[in-house]
Amino acid sequence: MTLFGLAWVTAAETPRIVSAKEIQQATETYGMLAGKRLKAWQTLVDENIHQPEAIQLKNVNDFFNEVRYVTDIDHWNQKDYWATPIELLATDGGDCEDYTIAKYFTLKALGVSQKKLYLTYVKAIRLNQAHMVLTYFEKPRSIPLVLDNINKKIFPATQRKDLVPIYSFNGDGLWLAKERGKGKPVSGGTKKLTAWNKLLKRLKPL
């Protein structure tokens, strides 16, 4: 998939995160609106590649939060399925993991360092259920910002009293979460995350 095979021809060019073939396939499978959503995704990257990170965060968060929420059972007939960004947009449906994954890889495509981005499992207190958000650390010891599909505005983690962090991860590893940081690294890292590794197998590594 183009998402992971970002073709940087020169430093000034915008990365292609979705190919014409993938747009055509989505259109044929899911209809004209699916193709339009994928084109809008590429436009999002085109228009934000040189923006400050604060603007990139807001625009990416807003873009994916427009996708309708659907449970994995209803959408994929599976208890737990982590969709690729193309699957999320083409089908116009996903759950918290899918939003978070799409935001993570889009921000990476925009040039945000992986070291600043963490997919974070939390407990959503008001819903009394497990939930996933994307956290962004401007600096290693800074209070992270939370990109979420429940509360769609971006807030510092200290203002999200409704969320209790459990663990976080990215391509570098897995950490037991703590209140203000990534937490303690877990032996074995992301090898312990079956769903994450299944997702990566469906994509080409960056």
Predicted confidence (pLDDT) per residue in 61-84, tens digit: 999 999 999 999 999 999 999 999
- Supply the pLDDT for residue 5: 43
Give domain status of residue 206, yes or no: no
CB 10 within 8 A of CB 17: no
Rounded CA separation 188/130 (Å): 22
Q: Is residue 90 part of a domain?
A: yes
Q: What is the pTM of this model?
A: 0.87
What helix, strand, coil percent values describe the chain, rounded to 5? 40, 20, 35
196 within some domain: yes
Specify burial of residue 128 (Cβ count, 10 A radius: 0-12, 13-18, 19+). Answer: exposed
* Residue-range definition of the domain harbouring residue 39: 2-201
Round to whole Å and give the CA distance between 118 and 97: 12
H-helix segments, 49-95: 53-64, 72-76, 85-91
pLDDT at residue 30 tops 50: yes
CA 198 → CA 34, 138, 168, 193, 194, distances in Å? 24, 29, 17, 9, 6
How large is the average pLDDT for residues 83-94?
96
Q: Round the average pLDDT of the chain to a whole number and report it.
A: 88
Tokens linked to 94? 């996903």
Dihedral over Cα of 80, 202, 168, 104: its sign: negative
86 lies in some domain = yes
Q: Is residue 159 situated within a structural domain? A: yes
Residue with the larger pLDDT of the pair 174 and 93: 93
pLDDT band with cut points at 50, 70 and 90 for residue 37: very high
Q: Is residue 74 part of a domain?
A: yes
CA distance 192 to 17: 28
Asked whether residue 91 is assigned to any structural domain, the reply reads yes
Number of domains in the chain: 1
Give me the pLDDT at residue 11, please. 42
Which of 101-115, 132-146, 162-176 comes out lowest in average pLDDT? 162-176
Query: Is 151 within the bounds of a domain?
Result: yes
Q: What is the mean pLDDT of residues 17-33?
A: 96
Please give the Cα distance from 150 to 129 (Å, whole number): 12
pLDDT of residue 205: 41
- For residue 202, the model assigns a pLDDT of 82
Do 130 and 145 form a contact (C-beta atoms < 8 A)?
Answer: no
Q: Would you say how long the chain is, in residues?
A: 206
pLDDT > 70 fraction of the chain, expressed in percent and rounded:
83
Evaluate if residue 23 carries a pLDDT over 60: yes
Lowest mean pLDDT: which of 45-54, 103-112, 113-122, 191-200?
191-200
- Interatomic CA distance for residues 97 and 187, integer angstroms: 23
Whole-angstrom Cα distance, residue 18 to residue 82?
18
pLDDT at residue 7 greater than cutoff 60: no
Q: CATH code at 121?
A: 3.10.620.30
Q: Are 97 and 132 in contact (CB under 8 A)?
A: yes
In the chain, % of residues over pLDDT 90: 72
